[in-house]
């Protein structure tokens, strides 16, 4: 039910002033009628534009170790309880990682996001990650983000010394809803890793997965937790109900719901990088470009175990809406964004999931 509140520019004013909108106003964003969606997006874009202008930051995701995970996350095709048909492999050879880095640079990505499955990296795998990071940084003007599971401050410092700029560890959902999603770790475990990243003086990247059966209060609480932690980069994933996972039957999202969530997160996280991540193509569908009005970043290419649209389609979408790509140093890209970008590139093993 709509609350009757509709002054979305007031929420933009409050966000730009550094104020936290009320819980009642946050609920109003999520429950607003469809005929107010464009007004919401316009207000959210005003907040986005104040920090990010019309730039769009691209990230390239590399699944450097797939499957074989001892965790029981209900959303994840790589978990120990999943029967999803995915590729499973140990840590990639450095040669393969460099090929992915070459492709990231070719696709105009500013950041290579290196992800490994598992609860926490063992020393052998961790050293391979460090070696790969050094090699990538030596060859390319790419920032590197590492997503390696639970980490302590000493490990984070070693990543920093190797050239990692950002460490990702998603909270995924609210503290209240976490037990419904996973039983092998706690919300506090995830917060502790984010705190270790902050303590090491590194950039924090943490977000969530929406559409897992959580309430509106859970959606709001996750954003407030990210704000309290002062997370700098926030990937917003929308649940991809992959067959073989515990959450395969959940169907709670449509494009308008996703856009309301993105608008709310911009009001609550006014200066953060907000990235429309997994599920963008699946759930926003023909309205994908609208997500760039509250958000300022996307992944280009495929996701961990699911397929995205082609890089050229992403670049065309960005150009058609009048946005410009951002270089690794944060400046607008000068020149042809399509130069050197192939018409296609190796695809993920799974076809794009339909909902």
Q: Which two tokens stand for residue 130?
A: 């460090």
Q: CA 276 to CA 287: how far, in whole Å?
A: 12
Q: Minimal CA–CA distance to 297: which of 247, 250, 233, 349?
A: 233
Q: How many CB atoms lie within 10 A of CB 191?
A: 17
Cβ proximity of 206 and 224 under 8 Å: no
Q: CA 237 to CA 172: how far, in whole Å?
A: 9
Q: Under DSSP, is residue 36 helix (H, G, I), strand (E, B) or coil?
A: helix
Q: Which two tokens stand for residue 66?
A: 């797939």
Question: How are beta strands 203-205 and 166-168 bridged, if at all?
Answer: parallel
Q: CA 241 to CA 15: how far, in whole Å?
A: 33
Question: How are beta strands 203-205 and 55-65 bridged, if at all?
Answer: unpaired
Q: Minimal CA–CA distance to 64: which of 114, 109, 112?
A: 114
Exposure letters 126-135 (e unless 16+ CB within 10 A, then b):
bebbbebbbb
Give helix then strand counts, H and E, for the chain.
11, 10
Catalytic residues: 69, 73, 76, 113, 145, 205, 275
């Amino acid at each position: 039910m709509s609350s009757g509140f509709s002054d979305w520019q007031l929420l933009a004013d409050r966000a730009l002033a550094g104020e936290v909108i009320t819980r009642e106003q946050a609920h109003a964003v999520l429950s607003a009628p469809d005929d107010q969606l464009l007004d919401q997006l316009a207000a959210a874009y005003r907040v986005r534009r104040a920090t990010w202008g019309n730039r769009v930051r691209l990230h390239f995701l590399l699944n450097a170790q797939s499957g074989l995970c001892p965790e029981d996350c209900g959303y994840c095709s790589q978990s120990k309880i999943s029967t999803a048909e995915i590729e499973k492999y140990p840590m990639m050879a450095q040669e393969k990682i460099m090929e992915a880095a070459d492709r990231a640079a070719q696709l105009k990505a500013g950041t290579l996001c290196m992800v490994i499955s598992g609860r926490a990296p063992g020393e052998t795998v961790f050293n391979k990650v460090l070696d790969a990071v050094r090699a990538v940084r030596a060859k390319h003007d790419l920032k590197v983000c590492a997503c390696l599971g639970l980490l302590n401050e000493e490990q984070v410092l070693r990543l920093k010394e190797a050239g990692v700029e950002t460490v990702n560890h998603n909270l995924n959902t609210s503290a209240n809803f976490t037990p419904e999603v996973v039983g092998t770790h706690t919300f506090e475990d995830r917060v502790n890793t984010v705190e270790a990243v902050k303590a090491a003086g590194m950039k924090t990247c943490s977000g969530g997965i929406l559409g897992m059966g959580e309430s509106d209060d859970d959606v709001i609480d996750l954003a407030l937790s990210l704000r309290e932690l002062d997370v700098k980069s926030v990937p917003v994933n929308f649940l991809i109900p992959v067959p073989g996972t515990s959450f395969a039957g959940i169907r709670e999202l449509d494009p308008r719901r996703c856009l309301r969530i993105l608008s709310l997160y911009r009001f609550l996280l006014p200066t953060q990088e907000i990235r429309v991540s997994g599920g963008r193509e699946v759930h926003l569908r023909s309205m994908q470009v609208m997500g760039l009005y509250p958000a300022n970043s996307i992944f280009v290419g495929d996701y961990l175990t699911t397929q995205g649209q082609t890089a050229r389609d992403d670049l065309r979408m960005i150009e058609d809406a009048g946005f410009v790509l951002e270089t690794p140093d944060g400046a607008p890209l000068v020149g042809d964004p399509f130069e050197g970008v192939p018409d296609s590139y190796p695809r993920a093993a799974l076809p794009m999931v339909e909902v």
